[in-house]
């Protein structure tokens, strides 16, 4: 993403890939105050299974 990748295909049910997507956006500064990352974690999109 940092090198200019605009899009990619991924399985939205794969929690590892979704977590990597949200983390990358947060680390690149595209997610103000990491609110999207936090919201996705709270919704269970990625992270530990309960």
- 20 pLDDT band, cuts 50/70/90, is very high
- 1 pLDDT band, cuts 50/70/90, is confident
List all residues 6 or more positions away from 45 whose beta carbon is below 8 Å from its beta carbon: 15, 18, 19, 22
- 19 pLDDT band, cuts 50/70/90, is very high
State the CB neighbour count (10 A cutoff) for residue 39. 12
């Amino acid at each position: 993403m940092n090198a200019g990748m605009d899009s990619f295909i991924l399985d939205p049910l794969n929690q590892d890939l979704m977590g990597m997507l949200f983390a990358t956006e947060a680390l690149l500064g595209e997610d103000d105050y990491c609110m999207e990352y936090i919201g996705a974690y709270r919704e269970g999109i990625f992270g530990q299974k309960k």
